[in-house]
């Protein structure tokens, strides 16, 4: 399956499996969907990863989104090194937290923001706040949207539309999933029906601003605005999860693609990934009156020992300050080039495909025809993707090891990196055709 010898990754994976479940600290890293041995990465610079066997790869994972500027950006490293030299965590308020909060407030419609350490914490806290603010318990989410491993959000649709959900994994109590309704994405009728039946019990609806966790599935025109209005009509809060899209899809995140143009704002938003500059930092924010219900200003409890950590907030601030409109234009042009070449290669090899995009984010579905929801995304030829993935890896391109993930580019993806991707595509497309 692999053309390059990877004995060190292989040995580390063996050892890892004896001390860590599946040998990884987050499941998708394990190559379960594509088979084979994940590469253990020793270092990264710009667009390139170097594994422990000395092989180089063009990185199209970018740490699952955060590395907008590429790895080890000199100015980000300089800011981090200066901050580290002063100490790593104080458990008191610090200046970088204020500066990063101001930057986020300036670039998005949120009025106030609270820092946490992961996207999961951000969505968990936003939902608690929505429940505390509205005095209601029920949460609506969409199938195929991922919001971290929050009990209430690891739920699967019940037996009918608008019925309460069942646990999506062992370990989630029926009571936690039973306060969640899971609906098909892009389905206005399902949303209307759920609010008609449960309206006065619904605390909030949470959605990815543009889903990127079932592959990239853009909202149909006006869909997010419809969700915002429906929530408002029923006294529920609209939570837009921008952990993946925030400061990534566009400079204003996913909201820059619709809300900024159409003139609506979410009540609450969640952020992560890019705003942490490669460190564990995330945030939730929104309307000042809603955020004012949080402790210590209000009664809804939420806290964190490392929340707003000075190194993480310094890295995030440096990243956002360097993420100029020119950076997003360059990312978009890189995405254009790669998308064009993927389409050409898969078309020439006769492999069914659909490429979908939200700003600088895109993904490739190994099936014919546009995908508008999770049921559609699930009809992909995952065997074709696995063959394609391994051929790309052998040619020195590290794609997300699942057909259900967005591909991420960075401002450091220069001509040499893009050329490596383009050179690899025809052979990978032929491998997919034969799978």
Which of positions 13-32 make contact with ligand PMP (CB under 6 A)?
none
291-300: long-range contacts, CB 8 A cutoff, minimum separation 24: 291/111, 291/112, 291/113, 291/114, 291/129, 292/112, 293/129, 293/132, 293/133, 294/114, 294/129, 298/132, 299/132, 300/128, 300/129, 300/132, 300/133
Dihedral sign computed on CA atoms, order 100, 106, 109, 110: positive
Residue 208 lies near ligand PMP (rule: CB under 6 A): yes
Residue 6 Cβ, how far from ligand PMP at the closest point, in Å? 26
Residue 147 Cβ, how far from ligand PMP at the closest point, in Å? 5
Q: Is there a contact between 151 and 173 (Cβ–Cβ < 8 Å)?
A: yes
Residue 373 Cβ, how far from ligand PMP at the closest point, in Å? 16
Query: Is 185 annotated as catalytic?
Result: no
4-11: long-range contacts, CB 8 A cutoff, minimum separation 24: 4/53, 4/55, 4/394, 5/53, 6/37, 6/39, 6/51, 6/53, 6/55, 7/53, 8/40, 8/51, 8/52, 8/53, 9/37, 9/38, 9/39, 9/40, 9/51, 9/52, 9/53, 10/37
Residue nearest ligand PMP (C-beta atom): 119
Residue 223 Cβ, how far from ligand PMP at the closest point, in Å? 16
Residue of 57, 273, 328, 373 marked active site:
273
Rounded to a whole number of angstroms, the distance between the first and last alpha carbons of the chain is: 12
Q: How far is the C-alpha of 67 from the C-alpha of 47, rounded, in Å?
A: 9
Which of positions 139-198 make contact with ligand PMP (CB under 6 A)?
146-148
Among 123, 230, 309, 363, binds ligand PMP (CB under 6 A): 123
Q: Give the x-and-dash track for 26-65 against ligand PMP (CB under 6 A).
A: --------------------------------------x-
Which of positions 282-341 make contact with ligand PMP (CB under 6 A)?
282
Residue of 51, 59, 187, 241 marked active site:
241
- The smaller minimum CB distance to ligand PMP, of residues 64 and 279, is found at 64
Residue 107 Cβ, how far from ligand PMP at the closest point, in Å? 18
Residue 119 lies near ligand PMP (rule: CB under 6 A): yes
Which of positions 231-290 make contact with ligand PMP (CB under 6 A)?
241, 243-244, 272, 282
- The smaller minimum CB distance to ligand PMP, of residues 209 and 424, is found at 209
Residue 148 Cβ, how far from ligand PMP at the closest point, in Å? 3
- The smaller minimum CB distance to ligand PMP, of residues 123 and 382, is found at 123
Which of positions 354-393 make contact with ligand PMP (CB under 6 A)?
none
Stretch in the footprint of ligand PMP (CB under 6 A) among 41-49, 90-98, 118-126, 341-349: 118-126
Residue 108 lies near ligand PMP (rule: CB under 6 A): no
Q: How far is the C-alpha of 71 from the C-alpha of 67, rounded, in Å?
A: 6
Number of residues near ligand PMP (by CB under 6 A): 15
**Could you give the 3-state DSSP secondary structure of residue 118?**
coil
Q: Residue 124 to residues 56, 112, 118, 243, 292: CA-CA distances in angstroms?
A: 37, 17, 10, 12, 17
Q: Is there a contact between 293 and 267 (Cβ–Cβ < 8 Å)?
A: no
3-state SS string over 47-85?
CEEEECCCCEEEECCHHHCCCCCCECCHHHHHHHHHHHH
Query: Is 273 annotated as catalytic?
Result: yes
Residue of 57, 146, 185, 398 marked active site:
146
Per DSSP bridges, beta strands 237-242 and 282-286 are unpaired
Among 118, 163, 302, 378, binds ligand PMP (CB under 6 A): 118
Residue 125 Cβ, how far from ligand PMP at the closest point, in Å? 12
Binding site for ligand PMP (CB under 6 A): 64, 118-120, 123, 146-148, 208, 213, 241, 243-244, 272, 282
Q: Which residues are catalytic?
A: 146, 241, 273
């Amino acid at each position: 399956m692999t053309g390059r010898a990877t004995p060190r990754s292989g040995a580390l994976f063996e050892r890892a499996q004896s001390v860590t479940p599946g040998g990884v600290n987050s499941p998708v890293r394990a190559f379960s969907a594509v088979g084979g041995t994940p590469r253990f990465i020793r270092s990264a610079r710009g667009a390139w990863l170097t594994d422990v066997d000395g092989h180089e790869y063009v990185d199209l994972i970018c740490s699952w989104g955060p590395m907008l500027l590429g790895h080890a950006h000199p100015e980000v490293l300089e800011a981090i090194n200066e901050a580290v030299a002063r100490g790593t965590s104080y458990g008191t308020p610090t200046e970088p937290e204020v500066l990063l909060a101001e930057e986020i407030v300036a670039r998005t419609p949120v009025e106030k923001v609270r820092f946490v350490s992961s996207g999961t914490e951000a969505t968990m806290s936003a939902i608690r706040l929505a429940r505390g603010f509205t005095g209601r318990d029920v949460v609506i989410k969409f199938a195929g949207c991922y919001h971290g491993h929050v009990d209430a959000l690891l739920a699967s649709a019940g037996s009918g539309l608008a019925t309460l959900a069942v646990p999506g994994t062992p370990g989630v109590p029926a009571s936690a999933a039973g306060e969640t309704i899971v609906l098909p994405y892009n389905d206005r009728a399902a949303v209307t029906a759920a609010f008609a039946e449960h309206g006065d019990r619904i605390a909030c609806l949470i959605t990815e601003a543009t889903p990127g966790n079932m592959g990239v599935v853009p909202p149909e025109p006006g869909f997010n605005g419809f969700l915002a209005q429906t929530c408002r009509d029923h006294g529920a809060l609209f939570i837009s999860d921008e952990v993946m899209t925030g400061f990534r899809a566009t400079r204003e995140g996913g909201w820059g693609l619709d809300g900024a143009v159409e003139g609506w704002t979410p009540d609450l938003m969640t952020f992560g990934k890019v705003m942490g500059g490669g460190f564990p930092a995330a945030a939730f924010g929104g309307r000042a009156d809603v955020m004012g219900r949080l402790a210590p200003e209000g009664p809804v409890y939420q806290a964190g020992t490392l929340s707003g950590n000075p190194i993480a907030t310094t890295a995030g601030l440096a990243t956002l300050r360097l993420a100029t409109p020119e950076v997003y234009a360059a990312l978009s042009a890189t995405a254009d080039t790669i998308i064009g070449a993927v389409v050409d290669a898969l078309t020439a090899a006769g492999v069914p495909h659909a490429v979908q995009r939200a700003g600088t984010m895109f993904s490739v579905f190994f099936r014919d025809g546009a995908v508008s929801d999770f049921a559609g995304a699930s009809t992909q030829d995952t065997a074709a993707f696995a063959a394609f993935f391994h051929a790309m890896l052998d040619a020195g391109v590290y794609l997300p090891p699942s057909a259900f993930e967005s591909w991420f580019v960075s401002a450091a993806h220069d001509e040499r990196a893009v050329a490596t991707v383009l050179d690899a595509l025809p052979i990978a497309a032929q491998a997919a055709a034969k799978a």
